[in-house]
């Protein structure tokens, strides 16, 4: 069972804290811990205050229902939050959560001292999540680079050299001198019946005589 004493340090409503913590205890996942709890304090009637709980995984919005007989909980995880802020007013402060998508979530009448600590706790967890995400991204990039950059063994290197030598020999064999090229073109003209056999023989003789 969670000890509620540490959530009463900034004059939070004890009854509201006890009720919220009792319900939250069943909603927390493995490794999840409540970092701070702020309780609304309305300027007139404050019988059913809303509460905001910060954990290392998400923000909980706790709203009483059915005249205080039930508690409604809504949560938003850090990966879905863009930023958090607050605005001090005459009666307490507004705590503002800006999600990645959708409208801002605004809670009014949070006592100023609680709002500052609520914002600090939320901002710390949000920055920690962003840093963790950045580190995971770097590790994924390194893993992908390592998978592609396969080191060559001596045998593989020898194969690469042998292949290069074979390719080089083939290129040398395909190189033709000027005379051979002229004879090949002449034969091509004759095969296509663009010149007569007599013309072919005559030009062939002239090419060979020039050697």
Residue 177: its pLDDT value, please? 75
Quote the pLDDT of residue 95.
97
Q: Which residues of the chain have pLDDT under 70?
A: 1, 148-176
pLDDT of residue 158: 52
DSSP structure string for the chain: ----GGG-TT---HHHHHHHHHHHHHH--TT--EEEEEE---SS--SS--EEEEESSEEEEEEEETTTTEEEEEEEEGGGEEEEEEEE-SSSEEEEEEESSS--EEEEEE-HHHHHHHHHHHHHHHHHHHHHHHHHHHHHHHHHHHHH-PPPPHHHHHHHHHHHHHHHHHHHHH---HHHHHHHHHHHHHHTTSS-HHHHHHHHHHHHHT-
Structural domains of the chain, ranges and CATH numbers in brackets: 5-148 (2.30.29.30), 154-209 (no CATH)
pLDDT digits (tens, 9 = 90+) for 157-192: 454 445 545 445 454 454 567 888 888 888 888 888
**Which pLDDT belongs to residue 195?**
83
Q: Which residues pair with 106 in a beta bridge?
A: 96
């Amino acid at each position: 069972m969670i000890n509620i004493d540490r959530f009463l340090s900034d004059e939070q409503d004890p009854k509201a804290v006890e009720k919220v913590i009792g319900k939250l205890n069943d909603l927390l996942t493995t490794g999840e811990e409540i970092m701070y709890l702020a309780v609304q304090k309305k300027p007139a009637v404050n019988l059913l205050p809303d509460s905001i709980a910060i954990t290392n995984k998400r923000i909980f919005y706790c709203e009483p229902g059915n005249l205080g007989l039930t508690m409604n909980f809504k949560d938003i995880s850090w990966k879905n939050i863009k930023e958090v802020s607050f605005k001090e007013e005459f009666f307490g402060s507004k705590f503002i959560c800006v999600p990645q998508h959708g409208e801002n979530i605004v809670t009014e009448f949070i006592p100023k001292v609680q709002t500052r600590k609520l914002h600090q706790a939320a901002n710390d967890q949000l920055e920690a999540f962003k840093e963790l995400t950045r580190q995971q991204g770097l590790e994924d990039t390194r893993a992908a680079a390592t998978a592609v950059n396969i080191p060559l063994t001596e045998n593989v290197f020898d194969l690469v050299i042998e292949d290069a030598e074979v390719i080089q020999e083939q290129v040398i064999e395909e190189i033709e001198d000027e005379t051979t090229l002229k004879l090949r073109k002449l034969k091509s003209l004759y095969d296509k019946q663009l010149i007569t056999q007599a013309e072919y023989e005559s030009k062939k003789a002239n090419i060979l005589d020039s050697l």
